[in-house]
Structure 1
Amino acid sequence: MITVVFDTNVLLDLFVFNDFRALHLKQALIEKRIDAVASPKTLEEFVDVIARPLFCLDKSNQNLIWAQWHTLSRVLNDSELMRAPWQCQDPDDQVFLDIAFTVKPCVLMSKDNEVLKLANRAAKENIHITSNYNALSI
C-alpha cells in the first residue's frame, strides 16, 4: 500500500469538485489501497477552506465532506510530526511537508508551487512531491 499526503487543494478536487482526473484516487482511498495521512492541523485547514462562501456548501455538506475525509485518512498527532529539513514560506503548507517527512517513503500530492519547488530536495529523502494525479501506480 502506498502512503500519500494530500494537500488541501488536492482534497478539494477529490471531495468538493469531484474532478474526473482524481476519481481514481478517490476510489483507491475508498478501497483502502492508499494510506492517506493527515493531521489535526490539516483537517482544520480543510474545514476552514470548505466553509468559505466561494464553495457554496451548506453546513450539512461541509460536515459530510469532512467526515468522509476524516474516515478515509490516518490522522497523526501534530506533536508527533518530525520537522522537514526544507522550509516552506507558507506555514499552512509546511505541515504537509512535515507529515511527508514523518511517514516517508511517500508521495505528497500538492498543487502549491512553493511545495512543488522542493520536489528535488524531497526526493533525496524518498518523498515524491507531485501535482500529477496519475503519478501513483494503484
Structure 2
Amino acid sequence: MSVSAPGARGAMHRVVLDTNVCLDLFVFRDPAVARLARALADGAVEAVTDAACREEWRRVLAYPRLALDEAAQQAALDEHDRWIRLAAEASNAAPGVRLPRCADPDDQKFLELALAAGAAWLLSKDKEVLRLGRRTLRDGLFAIATPADWLRAQPGEA
C-alpha cells in the first residue's frame, strides 16, 4: 500500500497512534515499531493524544488479558505520557469538515483527534479504521495507515 499524507494539513510529522499501536510500542515492544519508537525519541515525529484517547489507554492497560501488574501498567502509562503530547482542546479543523464514521464508535475519537490536532497521519492496526483511509485522503484530511505502511512512506524508506 502506498500512502502519502496530505501536505496541507498540519505538521507533516504529527501523528495520532491508536491504542493497539501504543500497546506495540509501550507494552509488547514489538520490533516492527522500533523505528517509530526511535522517531518519537529523536523528535522526528510528534505524537499527540487527548483526554479521551489517554483514558482509553489507561483502561486498556488494566485489561486482565494483558496480565500487567500495577507497576507495569504505571510504567506503560508513564512511557506513553513521556512520548505522546496531550493536545490542546482547540481544534485545527475547518468548519463543516465531515469525518467518515467508524463502525466501532469507540474508534471515532481517534479520527476526531487526528482532525482536531492537524495530524498528517493516524496510525492504526484496526481493519475497520484502516478502511476509512481512502476517504480521509480523498477529502484532504489525513492519512490512515499501519505503522509499517507509515514507515515505508517516510523519506528514504523503500
Is the TM-score greater than 0.5? yes
Q: Which structure dedicates a bigger proportion of its chain to strand?
A: 1
- Shift of residue 20 of structure 1? 0.5
2:87 paired with 1:76: yes
2:119 paired with 1:119: no
1:84–1:51 CA distance, 2 compared to 1 (3 A): farther
- Shift of residue 127 of structure 1? 0.8
Structure having greater relative contact order (Cα 8 Å, sep ≥ 6): 2
Correspondences of 1:1-138 after superposition (within 5 Å) = 2-77=13-88, 79-81=89-91, 84-124=98-138, 125-136=140-151, 137=154
Tell me the distance in 2 between the aligned counterparts of 1:117 and 1:135: 15
The runs of 5 or more residues in structure 2 that have no matched partner are 1-11
Q: Aligned with 1:133: secondary structure?
A: helix
Q: Aligned with 1:26: secondary structure?
A: helix
TM-score (norm 2): 0.78
Tell me the distance in 1 between the aligned counterparts of 2:49 and 2:136: 18
Tell me the distance in 2 between the aligned counterparts of 1:88 and 1:105: 18
- Shift of residue 28 of structure 1? 1.3
Q: Between the two proteins, what is the percent identity of the paired residues?
A: 35
Give 4+ residue runs of structure 1 displaced > 6 Å after superposition.
Answer: none
1:64 maps to a residue whose letter is: A
Whether the aligned pair in 2 keeps the contact of 1:84 and 1:97 (CA below 8 Å) is: no
Q: How many residues align?
A: 137
RMSD: 1.9
Q: Aligned with 1:135: secondary structure?
A: helix
TM-score (norm 1): 0.89
Tell me the distance in 2 between the aligned counterparts of 1:84 and 1:37: 21
Tell me the distance in 2 between the aligned counterparts of 1:96 and 1:84: 14
